[in-house]
Chains A and B, each alone.
Chain A
């Protein structure tokens, strides 16, 4: 998982339907970069059979334990 460049941010915002100017794209790239870096060790490593709702199962199991 790579942090996006300002150029990539510009393209993604355009695709999302909310274009941003070059200054905003640079700021966004700098702002979200650390989140990409922090999550990089996890990205691409998750096993196949989990989905977001699996979280609720772990929560429920904690109550019953």
Chain B
């Protein structure tokens, strides 16, 4: 059967279903058809719930026939990273320890998307407990990059990046604690939004590091991310850290031209030690934005290495604290890589952790002062395109640890500062691997990032390129 419906953007398919040009059933079947083709090669899904999805699609079509529309996502099939609790569903968190865990509550982010009318296709693979940047998973196998199956997807939202890129789901929730939305977006050629800390409720999302965790979408365009963020953002009585900062009109922002927007280009750190092709694509991205009317301004940022170090300290301690009981009772049930990462937090003194937390205010204030003259900053997501699965497999490759450290270099400072960052497909290497750039904004100003990202995507077609079955 045709899989054309599954190739549409999220915004386009919502409009097609609402206008009855396509039924939810046709759209869901189209996604399931692609999943059947691609899943054996990608391992992107943790579970596919085909029958339930088709039944839900039938119900959505019947409701629409009676003039009842649940919301902006009426009848749209979606799948999400397997760490968002849904009452009555198994949520593995990519782990052996939670292989049979059945959630008793539904996460706020997921509930808001369901209330808007979305349908559940199944759940998506991820790094064990969201603690890994590549897409390896020793329990459920590595997820594969649709553009080059021997290469990593990036993690920890590995299934989200892979499934969105292969057009198996129109969008997917990921989570970003140290780069876990942006890296899969970069490596898989999709758009990913790391939200401001506190912008989207974390209630019912598996925790990794309560001071750094953020909920965000991976989708096929900035416009799609705008639609999803508008549905999820805002305060939540179940998460006291969910901010009541005003929710912007993200869809309106995504229609605005970029003319007059001031974009900063860091003079150091984010432009150092880049692979030649990433450097070329960064220059090309800046040239497009300039041509579209953005003002490009060099910026001097505070020392980003100190931010990375502080992020590592906070993440290591908070993750170890969440996992302490299982580290005592079930250490054998962790994958070797994740166990090693969790043990790191045991050796950091409480005073050092609290110093890293106390410095955060000063560090953010220094960043705000340094970037006062710009609306956003542009930087690569990582200095390289996707490495191979083999060369980044800790335990089986001598150089893997070095490869992994390099991958997270440009993402962790942003998590420590709690800032929003939009990863957009910006080009391809000569070997056909996607390369993404991140637009880093002011706290709670996702609208400006979506405005820039959407303008860039109106001028380019990197986000529309669809991988082909090998």
Chain A: residues with CB nearer than 8 A to chain B? 1, 4, 8-9, 12-13, 16-18, 20, 24-25, 27-29, 31-32, 34-39, 41-44, 46, 50-52, 54-60, 62-63, 65
Q: Is the CB of A34 within 8 A of B346?
A: no
CA distance A41 to B359 in the complex (A): 12
B77 interface hit (Cβ, 8 Å): no
CA distance A8 to B356 in the complex (A): 20
CA distance A6 to B170 in the complex (A): 48
Which B residues between 362 and 388 are near A, CB-CB below 8 angstroms?
362, 364-365, 368
Q: Is the CB of A58 within 8 A of B347?
A: no
**Contact mask for chain B residues 347-360; partner A; CB cutoff 8 A; 1 contact, 0 none:** 11100101111111
Q: Smallest distance from the beta carbon of A29 to chain B beta carbons, Å?
A: 7
- Given A18-B324, A38-B309 in contact, is the A24-B359 Cβ separation under 8 Å? no
Q: A41-B306, A46-B358 are in contact. List 8 more A-B contacts (CB 8 A).
A: A28-B344, A35-B309, A36-B352, A38-B312, A42-B310, A52-B358, A55-B360, A60-B245
CA distance A31 to B310 in the complex (A): 14
CA distance A35 to B178 in the complex (A): 14
Q: Number of B residues contacting the other chain (C-beta, 8 Å)?
A: 44
A25 partner residues in chain B, CB cutoff 8 A: 347
B457 interface hit (Cβ, 8 Å): no
Q: Is the CB of A58 within 8 A of B365?
A: yes
Q: Is the CB of A28 within 8 A of B346?
A: yes
- Given A59-B418, A62-B368, A62-B443 in contact, is the A52-B344 Cβ separation under 8 Å? no
CA distance A56 to B196 in the complex (A): 12
CA distance A8 to B358 in the complex (A): 25
CA distance A8 to B346 in the complex (A): 11
Q: Smallest distance from the beta carbon of A12 to chain B beta carbons, Å?
A: 5
A56 partner residues in chain B, CB cutoff 8 A: 198
Chain B: residues with CB nearer than 8 A to chain A? 196-198, 211, 243, 245-246, 303, 305-306, 308-310, 312-313, 316, 320, 324, 327-328, 340, 343-344, 346-349, 352, 354-362, 364-365, 368, 418, 442-444
CA distance A16 to B350 in the complex (A): 11
Q: Is the CB of A34 within 8 A of B361?
A: no
Q: Is the CB of A50 within 8 A of B358?
A: yes
Q: Is the CB of B344 within 8 A of A31?
A: yes
CA distance A62 to B316 in the complex (A): 28
20 sample A-B contacts, Cβ–Cβ < 8 Å, listed by A number = A4-B347, A16-B320, A17-B324, A17-B328, A18-B346, A24-B340, A27-B340, A28-B344, A29-B347, A31-B344, A32-B348, A35-B313, A35-B348, A38-B308, A50-B362, A52-B357, A54-B358, A57-B361, A59-B197, A59-B198
